[in-house]
Every structure is written in structure tokens, then in C-alpha cells.
Chains A and B, each alone.
Chain A
Amino acid sequence: MTKRKNKKLLTPEILKQAIVGSVKKLDPRYMFKNPVMFVVEIGFIITLTLTIVPGLFGESDTGLRTYNLIVSIILLATVLFANFAESVAEGRGKAQAASLKKTQKNTEAHLLDRDGNKTLVSSGDLKKDDIVIVMAGEIIPGDGEVIEGIASVDESAITGESAPVVRESGGDFSSVTGGTTVVSDWLKIRITSDPGNSFLNRMIALVEGASRKKTPNEIALNTLLISLTIIFLIVIVTLYPIGMYCGIQLPVSTLIALMVCLIPTTIGGLLSAIGIAGIDRVNRFNVFAMSGKAVEACGDVDTMILDKTGTITFGNRLAADFFPVKGVNRSDLIRCAALTSLHDETPEGKSTLELARSLGDNSEEIPGSSFMEFTAQTRMSGVDLPDGTKVRKGASDAIEQYVTSQGGKVPADLHAHVETVSSLGGTPLVVCQNNQALGVIYLKDTVKPGMVERFERLRAIGIKTIMCTGDNPLTAATIAKEAGVDGFIAECKPEDKISVIKKEQAEGKIVAMTGDGTNDAPALAQANVGLAMNSGTTAAKEAANMVDLDSDPTKILEVVEIGKQLLITRGSLTTFSIANDIAKYFAIIPAMFMAIIPQVGVLNIMQLSTQNSAILSALIFNAIIIPCLIPLAMKGVKYRPMSSEKILARNMMIYGLGGVITPFIGIKIIDTIIAPILTAIGI
């Protein structure tokens, strides 16, 4: 799956597929799954029959034939439009699936037996726990875990990210995905999935929509739509005898027209498209959701458990300030710190130099200097200048020892500075020149830009954030305050994560978390929404219900918004669909009864020209509103983080009130257009 640059809703290819699909889906066995549209299809069949045999239900007026035909055509169009919406939504997934399938072609694999003999087999024959060896330039034949070797792997086939990643045995970077390519070196891999059940297979199945199940909320909404359909069926069926009693013989096709207008065809036609499009939006965001249910659960998230490192902060400690000890010039401290960092390629060194430069230091490398790199033994780095001056920076105890060994004395206030930095949540680096300690560099874990605003947004929509970190409580508190998260767990062990998730869940909260390591797997499984990083271990990916192909943990925030947007779209279009009924009543009811009870004409508030034109206009509006709303169903209703009251008020205004008013205008316009045409053909 390449990152989709093509954001267009429709490509000619999808359009073609969708048109074919919408006709294919007319199959009653398929339509039956969508009861609302199935009723419309039955209505179509009845009116079509009435077109051929107008007198079937004892109606004498043979002039109804053309009218019945027009009603049939509009009903057919309604069903086709609904099918088209679903096909378009599926189309994009199918296109994705097709490009994924290309990478799924059977490849050759070198199977290793116990004695280390290589046999050439097809990748399709690989079973779980088989061991294969993959050399540079070969495609990894299936999902697995690296048990030996280290190699760079091009995963662009899955993630769209062109830069290769390193995979090695042990640790959190040991999982590989079938279909990706080893670029350099070799890997010995134990296969972890049976044929046909690989990550890629599941991904294809999901984006294709083959394994799509209705989500619990979709089922519940469908129940509501079915019950509305049944209620209106009751209304229409009983209206016939009641009308007869009042001396009005209602044509069957008109009754069907009224019924189709009243049952929630708009949302019924778009419901599955909304669901598919929601998952598709997540997919295109390069997050791979295992089910629609997972996306839906995102909308309900109350608490987010986030790792500090990588999610909230960059994880690298960057220089933030210099604290000289008493009697030392600040500029001297900065100069020496800069000198030690000229060739220091660690993030700490680079950022020290950057900070020094920004504070006006411009010391250059003095020719003849010899640099010493940071090692775990010395725990310091530095430079020996040509004049014999030795400048060092490093961990405070290491430098203290160094200064003492050089015959110097540790300044009295150095400890105070070191403490201050620690209490700020930072890491102190002490700088010394020969036997004199100069001061402290304040290294800080930096919060990613934009995170503060994001947490504010989350708070506005009632989502609580909890930061997990292995840092001490002091450091954790500082970062938590700076980032603006609602809570934190310091010195956090994997089991702490599970217990905090369980605690939140016991309070009835829906919890989301991100993770990548094997020890995150139980917590990912426990959380309602678990987002695993694609770079993570297989165990983590299997425990999660979403996988982020870009391995960017901050994306959980957007995924939650997509989930909410999906639900809002569903609710808004339902409201719109139901609100439309008012106008349709005012179009059709007067038209039905006006011939016998002329006074009912007062209810014809839209001043529709003729009775037939009024009924047909309402029916046409009912049909074309479906394709008109396809873009909205695909893109989703605009979502802004606000309190629930504001969102509700806003959407009620747009889709509730709008749903009442729009059809009045729409039906009137259609009536103005079709009335002369109808007169011309004599209806």
C-alpha cells in the first residue's frame, strides 16, 4: 500500500466498478441483508408489475400505466443509488487490496531443516514454525520472527515508507512481515503464521471488505431503521382501507411511493457506505484497523494511556540551559561545553552545541585538539586541547571523580545545581576544565511540538490522558505538567499499565493505549483500543486491534477523532433522513386526498403544481438525496473537538433543522422542473 496521494473520491476505475457493482447488488439474496432497501426493491417489483398489468388490484384507471412506470423507474434508481454508494465505498478498498495482492505473489523460500540443509519451497507451502533463511534482495516469504542475523528491510510494500528499517533477533525489532524485502545482509526467520492467515492476507481481506461484519452499533441502528420501516408499512397498509372508508381509492403505486418516501431510505442506503468509508479513512491514514468495531470503540475512548518516550517527548535529552558554579563565568562554561561537543554526534552533544551557538558562542575547533568519545566505562566525553587543557563533560559522579583525581576540589554549590536540574525533570551533565568543575548543562526531555494543544483538545472532548514512563516521579511530574497530561505513572512497569487499564475500565471507562514491545502485549489486549506499532513485535501486533504502519504512536489521537467522526456521520445522516419525512408528508398527503377532499389543499404548503407532480417530486427527491450525500458519507461529517452539548447543538441545527428544511426546497425545485414535462406527457 503506497501512501495515497490520490485523495479524490472517484477515479474512473472505481466509478466503472461501482456502476457494475450497483447493478449486481440488485440480487434479492444480497438486498435482503439491507431490509430498508429490500422493501424498496419489492415496491419496485410491484409497481413494475402494475405497469404491465395496471388492473391487477382492481384499479380501473388504465391511465395509470405511465405513472406506474415512472414510479418504478424512480424506485429502481433509489435502489441503484444506494448500491452505488456501497460500491464506491468498497471500490477504494478494492483498489488498495489489488495493490497489496501484487506483493502477495508466491515467492520462493529457502527452508532450513534441523541439520541446516536448504531446500527451495514455495512460500505458500510454509507452515508455522518453519525456519527459513532470506538473503539480501529476496522477499520475506511470510510473517515471522528473526531468530538470527541482522539486516535492513524495505517495508514500503506494507507501510509506504521507503526508508529501510533494521530487523534483528531478540528485542522489540525482531518481527518481520511477509511481502517485505531484505535489502542488505541476511536473516534467519521462524515463520509465525500459517499460509493464508498472514498479516498481509488479513489486511487484504479487511480492506477488500470481505471479512466485514456489522458492528454492534450498526446492528442497533439497523434495528431502529427496520422498526421504522415496519411502522410505516403498518401506516401504509392500513391507510388503504381507511381511505376507502372516506371514499378515496388510493392507487397502489401512490401508496408505495409514500411508503418509500417515509421509510429511512437515505440512511438505509448510506449506512454500510459510512461504515466502510470510516475504516477506509483509518486505512488511508496508514493505520490498519482489524475490525470496524475497533474504529467505533475509538469514538468512545475516555482514557488514553500514552508512553512518554516517543509519544509525548522525543525521547532524546536535549540541552536546555547552562548553570555555572559560583565564581565561573557563564560564557566560559558555554565555551567549554561547546568545545567538548564539536565532534559529539550524540543528540545530547549536538543539542549542546546548538544551544551554545544560539547563545552567541562561536568557538571553533582548535587545530591539534584530540577528541574523546563517550563510552560506557568513562561516562564522559571531551577534548584535549593542543595547549594541554583537558575539557570534559559527563555524568556528575564521573566528573567529580575526574576532578578529584586531577587534584581539584568539587565546588560547594555544584551539588545544588545538579539537584535543581534533577528536580526539573532533567538530566545534569557536568563540565570541567582540568581540575576545575565549571558548571552544569541542563539536559531536558523535550515535549513534541503541538502536544500541549492536542491534550487540550482531548480534554475538551472529555478524554483523560495518562502518561507512562520509567522515569522517577520527580521527572515524570515535570514532563506531565509541561505536556499537560491529566495523570502519570512514574517508574512504570508493564504490569502497572495493565492495572491502570483495569482500574479505569472498572469505572466504566473505555481505554486506548499504544505499545510496541512484547511486554506491552497483555496491556494492548486488555485495552479497548490497542494500537500497536508496525515496528513492534508480532505478539504486540496480535494483541492489538489496530496496527500503525508508520509506527507513530501519536496517531492514536487522530484515530480517536476518526472514530468519533464515523459515529457522528452515522447519527447525523440518520437524523437528516428522519427529519426529511415531515416535508415528504406535506408533499404527498395533500396530493393523495385533494381530489376527494379539496380543502386538504391547505396542507399543500409548498404549492406543488399537480398531485402527480407532488408525489413524483417527493419520490425523486428521496432518490437523488442518496447520491448527493455520498461525498459526505465518504468524507465524514466535519468534526471539531468541542463539548458534547456544542457538538449536539451544531449537528442538530445542520442535520436536524437542515433535514426539515432541505426537502421543502428540494421538492419545490424538482416540482417546478418536472411539472411541465408531466403535463406534456399527459399525466
Chain B
Amino acid sequence: MIQLVLTLIIYLILVIPVGRYLYHIAAEKRTFADPLFDRVDGAIYKLSGIEPHKGMNWKQYAMALIGTNAVMTAIGYILLRIQSIPLFNPNSIEGMEPTLAFNTIISFMTNTNLQHYSGESGLSYLSQMLVIIFMMFVSAASGYSACMAFIRGLAGKTKDNVGNFFADLVRITTRVLLPFSLIGGLLLVWQGVPQNFSKNVVVQTMEGTFQVLAMGPVAALEIIKHLGTNGGGFFGGNSATPMENPTILSNLIELYSMMLLPGACVITFGKMLSDGRLRYQESNSPGNAPVRREGITARIFGKEGRSIFLGMGILFLAGLSLCFRAEQQGNPVLAELGLNQSEGNMEGKEVRFGIAQSALFTTVTTSFTTGTVNNMHDTLTPLGGMVPMLHMMLNCVFGGKGVGLMNMILYAILAVFICGLMVGRTPEYLGKKIEGREMKLTALAIMIHPLLILAFSALAVATAAGQAGITNPGFHGLSQVLYEYASSAANNGSGFEGLADNTYFWNITTGIVMFLGRYLPIVIQLAIAGSLMKKNYVNESTGTLSTGSVGFAVILVFVVYIFAALTFFPALVLGPIAEHLTLLG
């Protein structure tokens, strides 16, 4: 318990300066490192012919994002298919089969990192670096760029300029992802994570048998895997293997690196909006009106960011508590057989992490849509396993880099729509009226997620091809299916494992789900920002709904639970809840 609380307190302390830094990058304000980065970026802009100050409207921005991703996908696909060439391939890995390559490339381009292969036997070092690590950087940067454009739209500095996608992509990579990765990567190397191009090593164990120790540029992948909320492991065992995550310290480094940027995004959002609001107020009453001093939380998180952060925080803590409690109580069936469950449900967990760090990692990896695992999610207790599944279904509990925030804003729009009416005004959010067009887009974006998860799950359990992959009978089998599609649609990538998923059916369907789950919402969300930024600010008075309050955060939590969780309730009842209840007997 104390362990969890301390870990989260340290997180709160860390996220604030990072949030400030991100805000300075997004708002193009000066930072201490500008002298260096300006030169680096300038060289890149020159080399690739980018005009960083040429603004784009939301449509151009979305097109640039999709176009760039499409080119990268094509190149990545080819690389995976021809990886058997003897270049950085000491272990002589074969080229990838088409559907698996299709699945893998979409998986990494969409920041999902669902892996239907095992890294140590399925990818050459070249692929690991040029496809996997490269994609981990650019997919994270793409998501975060989209989010920055989205926030710029909401903050409404201009009527149609949401920024330049290429400049954003470069700035985020050079100023955030690369330096953070460098520091984090070295820390991991210090903790014992390998970083080399050596052939796998065969060692004789103490029992006298032989074991293959996989090698490779692990630390480089490991850090961006978490920092970019990617989640795809170098090895099949992901962060549960000692090669990827050797110590409790490396575990914390990985934990924080996946939590930092999504949380910081919310701070960026809050601060950029306060800026916009301030500018607007100043332009209306130049100079004379004294600016009201905000409270400490409002100054750190921004007024609007505060309630969003709090709402996400409540959802996160609720999930974490359930997961932790469920794991701590252990498995009643095993207890009945006379196995001591006082340590909790340790099946599939690493002894060096224990229940607390495993439950925390599980909740974090699915809330922040990273998808990395330090324990086997398949062997979590039914309720413990429901939490990661649920958080992927909500897809807005901090969420992946940028996208989680954008999803949460959709729920905030829903919340203000209903609450705004209840205070007797037509709804407005962030100083803009929410009208038919925004509602249409919001409704559409919110519909995509349950449609993808439920429709494809139904398809999988109703067809022989789908059923073939299910390796567990009954309710747990259904959980496997739901988990796989929730993970794909949320672009999370964490696997329940146990599902025999490297088949045509699973490769293709999850590929489609990942693709639609990524790009449809981003385009729609940018469209919402584009539509809102064209509108004039509406007046704020005591009669308007305050969206920066604790009350609004609580309402937001309820809206998320009612709109998102209720949708999945019947399916969850038949999956984990039924499993849990039958387990109790």
C-alpha cells in the first residue's frame, strides 16, 4: 500500500516539471536547451525542406499526418518482408509472412504494438531498429503532434492554423523523445539491460542444462517503448523478462517513463488554454482589469487541465484499487486446494516485483495505453484482469500520448452538453458553444470504439477461424477475445497472451481494428478542434458552467463510466464477472 502511494506521489512531483517543459515545446516558448535544439531542428528543416512556420488548417494537418504515416508503413512493411538479408542479422531470422507483416507494421505505426510474433525469433536486429524502434519514435510523435494541434485548436489562437505537422513531428522527436530516451536508456543500461549487436549467447545453467540468452539493442528499444507508450517488447516475454526489466529500479524507470508524457500532456493542455483565455480577456479589457490570481493547482495544471487530470486520476485510482485488491486476495480455488494465498495471486508474476508493483504496472500499462507487461495478464484473477480490459475500453484514463487526452475531451464535451443544459444555458466548453456539428462528430468518435471491440469480438466468437485461436474454455476464452480487440482498438497492444493469434484471421482483423481505432478518432477529433476554433468565445459569468472545478471532475468520471463502461457491461458480465462469480462458487 505505502509502496503504491509513494510511487504515485513521486510521479506527481515528476510530472509537473515535465508538463511545463512540454508546454513550452508545444507553445513554442523558450526553454533552456533551445540553443542546441534550434540548430539541430534547423538542420533537419533545411535538409527536408520543411517550412516550420507555415501553418496548416486541420484538414491539411490530418492529411500530412496520415500521408507521412502511410509512407512509413509502406517502407516498414517491405523491411519486415526482406529482413532475412544478412545485415544486422546475426541470428539468421527469416523474412516475415505477409499477414503477420501487415499486422506488425500497422501495430507499430498506430502506436499499438500488439505483437503476434516473438521478438527474439521473429525479428532481425535491423528490423528491431529500423522498423520497431523507428516506429516507436514516430508513432508516438505523430500521436502527440495530433494532440498539440488539437489543443491549439481548442485554445483558439487563430481561426484555422493548428500548427505545422512536420515541424511538430521534428520538435517532439528531437526535444522530447530523443533526449529523454537517451537519459532513460543509459539508466536502464546501468541497471543491466543489454545494449549490443552480439549473437545470442548460450550458457550452461547451474542445473547443467543449456539456455539461450537473447541479446541485441534492448535498452534503446526498452526506453522508447515506455516513453512513447508503445509497449512492444524486444522479447516475447516483454518487461517481465530480466533482460528487459532486471530490477525494481528499472521497473520504476519504465513505469515513470510511460506515465510521464500522457500526464504531462494534460498539463500542457491546461496551460495552453489558460494562455488562450488570458489573451482573450486582455484583448477585451486592455491593461486595467487586474488578473485574478489562481490557486496553486490552477497555476500548475491550468484551470481546465486540473479537472481533466483529477477525473483521470480518480478513474485510475479506482481501477488500481480493484486490481490490487483482487490480486492480493489470491485465487480461492487454489486456496481451497490448500495452497497458501497469503502472498496473493502470484501465478504469472515476477517475484522481484510482487503484487503491488505488478498490479500498478498492469493498471498503468493499460490506462496509459502502453501495453508493456511485467506480469502475465492472462493469469490475473478475473477481476484483476477486468481492470486492464476496462481501462482499454474506456481509453481515456490518461491514455496514450496525446490521444488519451483527446478522448477524454470527447467525454468532457458530452458532460458539458448535459450539465450545461442543467444550469439553463445551451452548452459551452472552453469558451465555445457546443452545437450540432460538434455533437455529431463527438458522437461518431465515441461510437467507433465500442463498435470495433464488440463487433469484432462477436465476429471472432461466431466464426470457426476466430474460435480456433481461443485457448481457454468458457468465460475466460471470451475475456481473451475481448481483451485482444480492446487492446487493438485502444492502440494499447498489451496481450492477454494465451490467444493463438498468429493466424490469418487474427492478424487481419486486429490489423483492421488497430488501423481504424487509430486514424478515425484522430481525424474526427481534429475536425472538432477545427470546428471549435472557428467559433467566437462566449462570455463567462457566474451563470456559466465551470469546467475547472472538482465537481466537474466527478461528473466527468460518472459520464465516462456511464457512457463507456455501461456499453461493455453485458460483455464484461459474460467474461470476467461470470468467471469471477463461478470461481467463488
Q: Which residues of A contact B (CB under 8 A)?
A: 216-217, 219-221, 223-224, 226-227, 230-232, 234-235, 237-246, 248, 258, 262, 296, 299-300, 302, 460-464, 507-510, 563-565, 567-568, 570-572, 574-575, 578-579, 581-582, 585, 589, 593, 597, 599-600, 602-603, 639, 643-645, 647-649, 651-652, 655-656
Contacts and interface: CB of A to CB of B under 8 A. Distances in A.
Residue of B459, B475, B555, B574 most packed against chain A (CB within 10 A): B574
A589 B551 contact: no
Given A242-B478, A599-B578, A599-B584, A300 B458 contact: no
A226 B443 contact: yes
Contact of A234 (B455, B569, B581): B455
Interface in B522-543: 536-539, 541-543
Contacts of A302: 539, 541, 543
Interface in B470-525: 474-475, 477-478
Contact of B478 (A223, A246, A578): A246
B457 A567 contact: no
Interface of B: 284, 414, 417-427, 431, 434-436, 438-440, 443-444, 446-447, 450-451, 454-455, 457-459, 461-462, 467, 474-475, 477-478, 536-539, 541-546, 549, 551, 555, 558, 562, 566-567, 569-571, 573-574, 577-578, 581-582, 584-585
Contact of B567 (A223, A235, A564, A599): A235
Residue of B450, B462, B555, B570 most packed against chain A (CB within 10 A): B570
Contacts of B447: 227, 230-231, 234
A648 B573 contact: no
Contacts of A570: 421
A597 B578 CA distance: 7
Given A234-B451, A508-B539, A648 B551 contact: yes
B439 A582 contact: no
Contacts of B457: 238, 242
6 contacts: A240-B458, A246-B578, A299-B426, A300-B425, A563-B424, A648-B423
Residue of B417, B434, B542 most packed against chain A (CB within 10 A): B542
B301 to A, nearest CB: 20
B478 A224 contact: no
Contacts of B450: 231, 234-235
Given A568-B422, A570-B421, A593-B573, A599 B436 contact: no
A589 B573 contact: yes
A262 B435 CA distance: 25
Given A220-B435, A223-B440, A461-B542, A648 B419 contact: yes
A241 to B, nearest CB: 4
A246 B574 contact: yes
A227 B414 CA distance: 12
Contacts of B414: 224
Contacts of B436: 216, 219-220, 223
Contacts of A223: 436, 439-440, 443
A429 B140 CA distance: 81
A300 B538 CA distance: 10
Contacts of B420: 571
Contact of A571 (B421, B440, B537, B539): B421
Nearest to B462: A241
B10 to A, nearest CB: 34
A568 B462 contact: no
Given A220-B435, A220-B436, 4 more contacts: A239-B570, A302-B539, A507-B539, A574-B418
Contacts of B421: 217, 221, 567-568, 570-572, 574
> Which 3 A-B residue pairings sit nearest by Cβ, starting from the closest?
A571-B421, A462-B543, A462-B541
Contacts of B459: 241
A624 to B, nearest CB: 22
Contacts of B570: 235, 239, 242, 258, 585, 589
Contact of B418 (A216, A246, A575): A575
A602 to B, nearest CB: 6
B114 to A, nearest CB: 21
Residue of B537, B539, B543 most packed against chain A (CB within 10 A): B543
A649 B474 CA distance: 44
B306 to A, nearest CB: 15
Residue of B438, B455, B458, B585 most packed against chain A (CB within 10 A): B458
Contacts of A221: 417, 421, 439
A574 B457 CA distance: 30
B569 A244 contact: no
Contacts of A462: 541-544
A220 B542 contact: no
A242 B461 contact: yes
Contacts of B475: 246
Contact of A244 (B418, B454, B462): B462
A299 B444 CA distance: 28
B425 A564 contact: yes
Contacts of B458: 237-238, 240-242
A157 B551 CA distance: 50
A582 B379 CA distance: 30
B443 A227 contact: yes
A186 to B, nearest CB: 49
Contacts of B543: 302, 461-463, 643-644
Given A565-B424, A568-B422, A224 B417 contact: yes
A461 B425 CA distance: 11
Contacts of A463: 541, 543
A585 B566 contact: yes
B443 A508 contact: no
B454 A234 contact: yes
A599 B578 CA distance: 7
A571 B542 contact: no
A568 to B, nearest CB: 5
B581 A235 contact: no
Given A241-B462, A245-B461, A565-B424, A227 B444 contact: yes
Residue of B424, B541, B551, B577 most packed against chain A (CB within 10 A): B424
Given A302-B539, A568-B424, A652-B555, A239 B571 contact: yes
B422 A648 contact: yes
A460 B542 contact: yes
Contacts of B438: 220
Contacts of B426: 216-217, 296, 299-300, 567
A625 B552 CA distance: 28
B195 to A, nearest CB: 45
Contacts of A575: 418, 422
B567 A231 contact: yes
B424 A567 contact: yes
Given A216-B435, A223-B440, A235-B454, A600 B569 contact: no
A652 B566 CA distance: 19
Contacts of B446: 227, 231
A656 B557 CA distance: 13
Given A585-B566, A589-B573, A603-B573, A648 B545 contact: yes
Contacts of A508: 431, 536-539
A662 to B, nearest CB: 16
B424 A652 contact: no
Nearest to A219: B436
Contacts of B544: 462, 644
Contacts of A602: 581
B434 A220 contact: yes
Nearest to A237: B458
A251 to B, nearest CB: 15
A571 B446 CA distance: 20
A644 B461 contact: no
Contacts of A599: 578, 581-582, 584-585
A600 B578 contact: yes
B562 A578 contact: yes
A649 B582 contact: no
B435 A582 contact: no
B425 A245 contact: no
A242 B569 contact: no
